[in-house]
């Protein structure tokens, strides 16, 4: 196993966050099979049976830029993941922060937070942004937009799920026509907009799986000067449940379609992030709607952070390993 590279101002950071066992999991007698022996290493213990039926534990060890254990608060996760990106954005750059992982592994908890655990990365970033703007002399404006990608289609979360269309202009810049952008002038008004959008997200519940596990939610915060020139922008992306990618073989037609789409977009995402660190001129943006709308995040001086969220329980072992392998591939040079 090789150690993760640690570079000052690195453009791609890949971090892992393990959540604690939930109360329901404890009640079921779920065992915690994940541990983090250091801040950069995570180990998954898988129990196996040998040919002679004796049991043994197989240990899978992975290294990342940062591993955050179940004791980490959203505040600590923010400091070690999104914070450097927010600083980059505030100095005029572009940054993108992804929450990846199985449904229930803690993506939304990380991004949005919860009433019991306090605020998530969205709010912590927003606080830093407004704190910074209050210290400078230039007048800058803050805009927010929030939409969802489901089955390759875009829906505006700030406009009652209005259907949106992304297109590339002659200069190869991707525009989302009709996307609602709301100008906000305080932390509280921005958080209010986010909470409205989040409420829209959970509306489309249907059947077995909540829609939120099958769609990507993209929040964009832009800073512009009085001439509407962009002076910094940042995306927060709460990705669809990674386990849905294997629904591509589901007998149900709708699940199969959704699964295929999610699979395609997560594969394209991995390739696009990887190409950030290389001199590749050919980044496969067009392979999915997700990477197409995020095109700007994979070129130029963009910074990216992926937070791979994992569940600790033994029954999630396979999904946990899949998540860690995916994250490992993202950072591999």
Of Mg ion, ligand ADP, none, which one sits near residue 20, judging by CB under 5 to 8 A according to partner kind? ligand ADP
SS3 for 86-124 is: HHHHHCCCEEEEEEEECCCCCHHHHHCEECCCEECHHHH
Of Mg ion, ligand ADP, none, which one sits near residue 265, judging by CB under 5 to 8 A according to partner kind? none
Distance of closest approach, residue 256 Cβ to ligand ADP, in angstroms = 21
Site residues for Mg ion, window 206-265 (CB under 5 A)?
A: none
Residues near ligand ADP, by CB under 6 A = 19-20, 22, 101, 103-109, 114, 117, 213, 309
Q: What is the CA radius of gyration of the chain?
A: 20
Distance of closest approach, residue 107 Cβ to Mg ion, in angstroms = 5
Q: Supply 214's token pair.
A: 């099958």
Contacts of 74 (CB under 8 A, 6+ apart): 109, 110, 113, 117, 118, 119, 120, 121, 124
Cα angle 133, 217, 78 (rounded to 5 degrees) comes to 45
Of ligand ADP, Mg ion, none, which one sits near residue 80, judging by CB under 5 to 8 A according to partner kind? none
Q: Which residue stretch of 92-100, 105-113, 147-155, 191-199 sits at the interface with Mg ion (rule: CB under 5 A)?
A: 105-113
Residue 280 — φ and ψ, nearest 5°?
A: -75, 130
Of Mg ion, ligand ADP, none, which one sits near residue 101, judging by CB under 5 to 8 A according to partner kind? ligand ADP
In the block, residue with structure tokens 């990507």: 216
Among 74, 81, 102, 108, binds Mg ion (CB under 5 A): 108
Q: Which is nearer to Mg ion, 203 or 228 (CB)?
A: 203
Residue 300's SS3 state is: coil
Residue nearest to ligand ADP (CB): 106
Of Mg ion, ligand ADP, none, which one sits near residue 109, judging by CB under 5 to 8 A according to partner kind? ligand ADP
Distance of closest approach, residue 241 Cβ to ligand ADP, in angstroms = 6
Contacts of 324 (CB under 8 A, 6+ apart): 16, 42, 44, 60, 62, 308, 310
Where along the sequence are the contacts to Mg ion (CB under 5 A)?
107-108
């Amino acid at each position: 196993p090789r150690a993760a590279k640690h570079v000052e101002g690195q453009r791609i950071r890949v971090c892992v966050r393990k959540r604690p066992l939930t109360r329901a999991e404890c009640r079921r007698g779920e065992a915690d099979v994940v541990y983090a022996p250091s801040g950069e290493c995570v180990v998954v213990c898988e129990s196996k049976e040998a040919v002679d039926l004796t049991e043994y534990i197989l240990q899978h060890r992975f290294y990342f830029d940062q591993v955050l254990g179940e004791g980490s608060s959203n505040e600590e996760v923010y400091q070690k993941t999104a914070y450097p990106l927010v600083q980059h954005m505030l100095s005029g750059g572009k940054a993108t922060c992804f929450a990846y992982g199985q449904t229930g592994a803690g993506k939304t908890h990380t991004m949005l937070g919860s009433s019991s655990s306090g605020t998530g990365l969205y709010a912590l970033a927003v606080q830093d942004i407004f704190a910074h703007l209050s210290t400078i002399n230039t007048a800058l404006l803050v805009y927010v937009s929030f939409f969802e990608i489901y089955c390759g289609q875009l829906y505006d979360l700030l406009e009652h799920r209005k259907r949106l269309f992304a297109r590339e202009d002659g200069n190869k810049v991707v525009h989302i026509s009709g996307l609602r952008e709301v100008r906000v002038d305080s932390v509280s008004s921005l958080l209010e907009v986010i909470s409205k959008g989040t409420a829209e997200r959970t509306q489309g519940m249907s059947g077995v799986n909540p829609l939120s596990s099958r769609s990507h939610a993209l929040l964009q915060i832009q800073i512009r000067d009085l001439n509407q020139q962009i002076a910094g922008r940042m995306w927060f992306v709460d990705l669809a449940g990674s386990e849905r990618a294997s629904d591509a073989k589901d007998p149900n037609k709708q699940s199969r379609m959704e699964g295929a789409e999610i699979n395609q977009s997560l594969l394209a995402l991995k390739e696009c992030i990887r190409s950030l660190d290389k001199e590749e001129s050919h980044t496969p943006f067009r392979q999915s709607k997700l990477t197409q709308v995020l095109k700007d995040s994979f070129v130029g001086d963009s910074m990216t952070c992926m937070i791979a969220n994992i569940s600790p329980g033994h029954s999630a072992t396979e999904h946990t390993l899949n998540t860690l392998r995916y994250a490992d591939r993202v950072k591999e040079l």
